[in-house]
Amino acid sequence: MLSVGDAIRTGMRSKFLLTVCLLPLLGCGDSTDADLFAAPPSAALDASSPRTDAAVVDATTDARTDAGAANCPGSGGACKAGDVPQGWSLVAYARSGQPACPADFGAAEDVVADATVGQQACSCSCNKAQDPDCQTGPSVLSGVGQSCNVNAGTYNFSAGKCAALGGTVDDFDKATTIAPSGGVCNIQAVPNDAAIKADAARFCAVSATCQPAACGGYAPAGFKSCIVSDGDVACPAGSPFSAKHTASKQAHVACAGCGQACTFQGKCDQPKLSFFYDSACAQLIATIPADGSCAPTGKANAQLHGVTYTAKANFSGCTATATPTASLDLPNVRTVCCR
């Protein structure tokens, strides 16, 4: 039999053992929590949202998560180590529309998502800076009779200057028109941002208490559970967050390939060939149109020593000849990967 003292001591020992046995059930024993979330490397989404320390976030024991956020369910064991790798942060993501962020989530960040470039995104503008030269180049001269098919020869003229040429003027002479050359055009690429097709999307930063649930796939109505990282990168290999989207604050069209080649609108007007008695082209003999027609000179057999070719440039503008290419310019683009 036990004495009263023995019974008291035995009872106290049993109570002590019971108390020790209950401590693990109350969360007082050694923690076996999985280290699933590292602090995000950037606060770009929401600088005010709480950080999730890498010390203790329990992805399998939901009681403590539920106690901290009444509107966020537990993860149900769906969140595994490696689902949210280093460099990625959890977000609630609404790709179409911009619903309000729930109370248990951080501030909203509005973005342009999954932008693509449509038709007529780029054009090339052209401004005429200098007319083409209408007075420099070769002209074919011939004469004699109304057919002007004798003594054909090619002569080069330069900028309307007097060219030395000896011989006699025919009764009829012909000169071909010099083609315009040179000219200066300023070409610029013209992007058309209205050609961009994109969704108006929204991020909501995930609070620390909701991160296990969000990692496991939970998202408020109108949102998806996703992770985000800087740059245009591939979704993490082996992660359930595998549906890729791109997002940025703005989207612009970038144009290339306009070059500097252009065509001019207009022509060289009033081309003329003038014959002179002297080599300084001061004493005029006769002038004929330099349009390829056989024209009378009225000065047959007059001795000549100089000729000039003149024309007036009449050009209204220019057009770029190249076809531009368009691409997307997404400043500070980020990759969103969703379940």
* Three-class HEC string of 56-115: CCCCCCCHHHHHHCCCCCCCCCCCCCCCCCCCCEEEEEECCCCCCCCCCEEEEEEEEEEE
Structure-model confidence comparison of residues 130 and 57, the more confident one: 130
Do residues 264 and 249 both lie within one domain?
no
Residue 50 covered by a domain: no
| 180 and 263 part of one domain | yes
- 291 within a domain of the structure (yes/no): yes
Identify the pLDDT of residue 75: 59
Which residues constitute the domain of residue 105? 63-118+197-255+331-338
Do 109 and 211 belong to one domain? yes
Q: Does 204 share its domain with 304?
A: no
pLDDT at residue 262, rounded to an integer:
96
Q: Are residues 183 and 131 in the same domain?
A: yes
| DSSP annotation string for 160-205 | T--EEEEEE--SEEEEPPPPPB--EEEEEEEE-GGGEEEEEEEEEE
In a domain, 208, yes or no: yes
Q: Give the model confidence (pLDDT) of 136-153 as tens digits.
A: 999 999 999 999 999 899
Angle at 244 between CA 192 and CA 211, to 5 degrees: 120
Pair 227, 274 in one domain: no
What pLDDT digit, counting tens, does each position of 71-87 carry? 677 655 678 888 999 99
Tell which phi-psi region holds residue 81, choosing left (phi > 0), alpha (psi between -120 and 50) or beta.
Answer: beta
Is the pLDDT at 54 greater than 90? The verdict is no
pLDDT at 74: 66
Residue 48 is assigned to a structural domain of this protein: no
**Confidence band (pLDDT; 50, 70, 90) for 338?**
very high
- pLDDT at position 66, please? 32
Question: Is residue 221 located within the same domain as residue 182?
Answer: no
43 belongs to a structural domain: no
Q: What is the DSSP letter of 232?
A: S
**What whole-number distance in Å separates Cα of residue 120 and Cα of residue 104?**
44
**pLDDT tens for each residue of 193-250:** 999 999 999 999 998 888 889 999 988 889 999 999 999 999 999 999 999 999 999 9
10 inside domain: no
Neighbours of 37 (CB within 10 A): 25
For residues 205 and 301, membership in a common domain is answered with no
57 alpha-carbon distance from chain centroid: 41
Cα 235 to Cα 3, 44, 103, 198, 317: the distances in Å are: 72, 19, 28, 20, 51
**Are 124 and 322 a contacting pair, CB within 8 Å?**
yes
The reply to whether 110 and 132 lie within a common domain is: no
* pLDDT above 80: residue 334: yes
Percentage of residues of the chain with pLDDT beyond 90: 67
Can you say how many angstroms the Cα of residue 241 is from the centroid of all Cα atoms in its chain? Answer: 27
| Structural domains in the chain (count) | 2
Residues 72 and 179 in one domain: no
270 and 183 fall within a common domain: yes
DSSP element (H, E) containing 120: none
The answer to whether the predicted template modeling score (pTM) of the entire model surpasses 0.75 is no
| CB-CB contact of 280 with 162 (8 Å) | yes
312 belongs to a structural domain:
yes
130 and 157 co-located in one domain: yes
For residue 315, the tally of other CB atoms under 10 A from its CB is 18
C-alpha of 180 from chain center: 38
Contact status, residue 323 vs residue 257, Cβ threshold 8 Å:
yes
Rounded distance between C-alpha atoms, residue 186 and residue 179, angstroms: 22
Asked whether residue 213 is domain-assigned, the answer is: yes
Look over the chain and give the mean of its residue pLDDT values, rounded to a whole number: 81
